[in-house]
Amino acid sequence: MTFQQWNGINAINYYAPFVFEGLVGGNTTNLLATGVVGIIEFVFTIPAVLYVDKFGRKTILIAGAIGMASCHFIVAGIIGSYSGNWENHSSAGWAAIVFVWVFIANFAYSWGPVSWIIASEVFPLSMRAKGVSLGGSANWLNNFAVGISTSPFIEASDYGTFIFFGCITTIAVLAVIFFWPETKGRTLEEMDELFGSGGFAQRDLEMKNRIERDIGLTALLGYDNHESPMETDEKLRDTNSEEMVEKRED
């Protein structure tokens, strides 16, 4: 949630009219450019709904962050090169606006929705409600911090602001690659095992397998008593599936 805010999305959302006015001038033009931001956010959120379970959370987050960081650095380069002389370089101003729109599109299909998905998946069932609440609190706290700090950043250095957010987004790419697990398709039990948590789901599964061993079902099916509960449960599911297939063939 921290990276979701410090990639600069709400800095652009809050200050888009001010930024666009500096790039292309004119109240009507910059308001229209700002309106396009909302349209892009809506349209590009749809692919996340359709493909998040196909490509996985990490892949989408990495692709989105790389796209956002690239846009930040490109916009910073354009502003640094032509700032103060936009009247003679209007095409450069529009190029900067286009890359801001591309940044919005990259956020809309990746960090916008997927951050909330991960926040609801990484916590064990026993503390999921508290964990998601803390994630939401962190999101709004960082939202507030970004909102009050962006204006001083822009006053100090307009292009430097984009460089700053680009660097934070680059760090987010590395964090996702090296530290974040993939949660796509994992059950509650697998999430508990992934994070080494003794959640209710894992304890229920262990109890289920212990009962099966006590009544002799595990030995009857020829399973190893030293297998992990997850392995035993998977084998039981496979056996049940095979029995159902045999019955259908008969």
Asked whether residue 111 falls in the same domain as residue 201, the answer is no
Asked whether residue 181 falls in the same domain as residue 209, the answer is no
Query: Tens place of pLDDT for every residue, the chain, 250 residues?
Result: 778 888 888 888 887 777 777 666 666 666 777 788 888 888 998 888 888 888 888 889 999 999 999 999 999 998 888 877 777 777 888 888 889 999 999 999 998 888 888 877 777 666 777 778 888 888 888 889 988 888 888 888 888 889 999 999 999 999 988 887 777 776 666 666 666 655 555 566 677 777 877 777 666 666 554 555 455 556 556 655 665 555 555 5
Asked whether residue 216 falls in the same domain as residue 136, the answer is no
Task: Please give the pLDDT value at position 194.
Answer: 64
Asked whether residue 179 falls in the same domain as residue 194, the answer is no
Domain range enclosing 210? 189-249
Looking up residue 87, the CATH number of its domain turns out to be: 1.20.1250.20
Asked whether residue 26 falls in the same domain as residue 109, the answer is yes
Last residue of a domain, one of 185, 210, 233: 185
Asked whether residue 141 falls in the same domain as residue 236, the answer is no
The answer to whether 106 and 114 are in contact (CB under 8 A) is: no
Task: Please give the pLDDT value at position 115.
Answer: 83
Last residue of a domain, one of 153, 185, 217: 185
Asked whether residue 28 falls in the same domain as residue 151, the answer is yes
**Of 65, 64, 58, residue with least CA distance to 170:** 65
DSSP 113-162: HHHHHHHHHSS-GGGHHHHHHHHHHHHHHHHHHHHHHHHHHHHH-HHHHH
Asked whether residue 114 falls in the same domain as residue 24, the answer is yes
Last residue of a domain, one of 185, 211, 241: 185
Phi first, then psi, for residue 224 (nearest 5°) are: -75, 130
Task: Please give the pLDDT value at position 190.
Answer: 66
The answer to whether 4 and 115 are in contact (CB under 8 A) is: yes
Cα 185 to Cα 42: distance, rounded to the nearest angstrom: 26
Asked whether residue 53 falls in the same domain as residue 173, the answer is yes
Number of domains in the chain: 2
